[in-house]
Structure 1
């Protein structure tokens, strides 16, 4: 689907620069339609990957391997909110309780550039979470409980 969407986008561009605006418009419309399908398919795949990685984990462990950076941040944010807003964790949580976030080291990233760990770290800093990242590929995050 990605290739099809790319094809329609490229053709829309070609027709536009040839001043064939009707054809450009038609191809552009098809490209938008296909890109929407690509997004939907990616979301379904991300959910399946996430569920597969985390089906045995308890609430204090989340594995984000295999997700795109944006998807991983979204899942982490949802997970942190789930912990932070649940009164049973807020009241009964031992002070040392931390969320273990697995990002991996980026061994399978193109050109050795691990995007996921940096993106997660940036998110945690931006949202002012306390965390420990001394072990590569792991973050230990202290949830923010609101009283």
Structure 2
């Protein structure tokens, strides 16, 4: 008979996995649920074509339920992945490896709000987006984070490949931003882990 693991034991086990293994394990249930929802939607379309409206309605309801469940699993997976990849980082470093674009933007937004509210604006937030070498369609996170900064008035600079420095001093004005751009010096990043 298998012994039930405590949350601490499970967390420790998950931290020992590679990012790829962790990602696949945590995202697989959500992926399976989305696939089941697609199948149910196709079956609902078939029922609609056969004029079986009652079955169509039932299948659509089941499909929507599976999609909702998949979204819940994605949220749980994102939280676990984020907590594990950032366990040793200080509040000025945020690693987005393993997160989907909307999740990553959400975590960056949340961290910037926390730093602003606590007046911890002395140093920039180092955002580790990665270079996108594991993404099928190439790097998406750097563009999403830069777009978020532009839309919300945060000044940023690209650091080493796969990193972005976001300056927290709340929302630079355009004139101040252009002043910063006059001084294009290479950045020396100090990794704080």
Whether the aligned pair in 1 keeps the contact of 2:159 and 2:165 (CA below 8 Å) is: no
1:10 to 39, 42, 52: 42
Kindly indicate whether structure 1 or structure 2 has the higher relative contact order, using CA contacts under 8 Å at least 6 residues apart: 1
1:121 to 146, 153, 163: 146
TM-score by structure 1 length? Answer: 0.88
2:71 to 22, 25, 39: 39
* Structure whose CA Rg is larger: 2
Which is further off, 123-132 or 47-56? 123-132
Alpha-carbon separation, structure 1, partners of 2:50 and 2:144: 40
Whether the aligned pair in 2 keeps the contact of 1:85 and 1:145 (CA below 8 Å) is: no
> Where do 5+ consecutive residues of structure 2 fail to align?
1-32, 172-193
TM-score by structure 2 length? Answer: 0.68
Q: Which residue number in structure 2 is paired with residue 138 of structure 1? A: 163
Alpha-carbon separation, structure 1, partners of 2:35 and 2:166: 39
Alpha-carbon separation, structure 1, partners of 2:107 and 2:45: 35
Matched, 1:109 2:135: yes
Give the length in aligned residue pairs: 139
Regions of 4+ moved over 4 Å? none
Against the structure 1 CA distance between its residues 23 and 142, is the aligned structure 2 distance closer, same or farther, given a 3 Å change threshold?
Answer: same
RMSD: 1.5
Whether the aligned pair in 2 keeps the contact of 1:63 and 1:101 (CA below 8 Å) is: yes
Whether the aligned pair in 1 keeps the contact of 2:154 and 2:170 (CA below 8 Å) is: no
